[in-house]
């Protein structure tokens, strides 16, 4: 368990200053997303998911996986979900992460793309674009649909245009609690 938390901390130290095309760093995005989840009184597992939802970009960057570009990795959600599941995180953390990109595609089907940042619009194109109506109905039927949409809201809210406190220690502490079931 300590190894996993140390590995997460190392990934943030190594890749947290990357922007992947956004106007903020990945570390500020992770902290801000988690903060928004906490402010909305989300469950600890959801706050942890908000903190870790883009860690797949870091994993892909570290491994120099094919498909990595200036926007990160288009399959970062699957990469993160698999990695977190292997390390013993509960499904309530890794499933919303797995589907947060699909939630963006769903939201683009329902509301359009007018609220997306340039980077989110670019990656949406790489990720299949807005869902079709039939894809949206299938997504709505998933057991974790509501959690994926909740995480998407925190993801979209977590793109600060100003400098924020990027101390990850409290978020790592929460991640430890979630991982150990405390």
pLDDT in tens, the chain (182 residues): 689 999 999 999 999 999 887 888 999 999 999 999 999 999 999 999 999 999 999 999 999 999 988 888 889 999 999 999 999 999 999 999 999 999 989 988 887 766 677 777 788 888 888 899 999 999 999 999 999 999 999 998 888 777 778 899 999 999 999 999 98
Structural domains of the chain, ranges and CATH numbers in brackets: 2-180 (1.10.3210.10)
Length of the chain measured in residues: 182
Q: How far apart are CA 105 and CA 128, in angstroms?
A: 8
DSSP class of residue 69? E
Element of type H or E holding 168 = none
């Amino acid at each position: 368990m300590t190894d996993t938390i140390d590995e997460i901390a190392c990934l943030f130290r190594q890749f947290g200053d990357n922007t992947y095309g956004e106007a903020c760093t990945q570390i500020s995005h992770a902290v801000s997303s988690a903060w928004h989840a906490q402010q909305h009184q989300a469950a600890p597992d959801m706050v942890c998911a908000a903190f870790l939802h883009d860690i797949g970009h870091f994993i892909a960057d570290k491994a120099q996986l094919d498909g990595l570009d200036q926007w990160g990795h288009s399959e970062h959600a699957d990469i993160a979900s698999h990695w977190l599941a292997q390390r013993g995180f509960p499904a309530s953390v890794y499933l919303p992460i797995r589907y947060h990109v699909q939630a963006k595609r769903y939201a683009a089907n329902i509301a359009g793309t007018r609220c997306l940042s340039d980077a989110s619009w670019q990656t949406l194109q790489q990720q299949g674009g807005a869902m079709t109506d039939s894809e949206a109905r299938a997504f709505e039927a998933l057991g974790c649909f509501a959690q994926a949409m909740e995480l998407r809201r925190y993801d979209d809210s977590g793109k600060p245009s100003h400098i924020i406190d990027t101390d990850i220690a409290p978020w790592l502490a929460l991640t430890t609690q979630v991982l150990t079931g405390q």
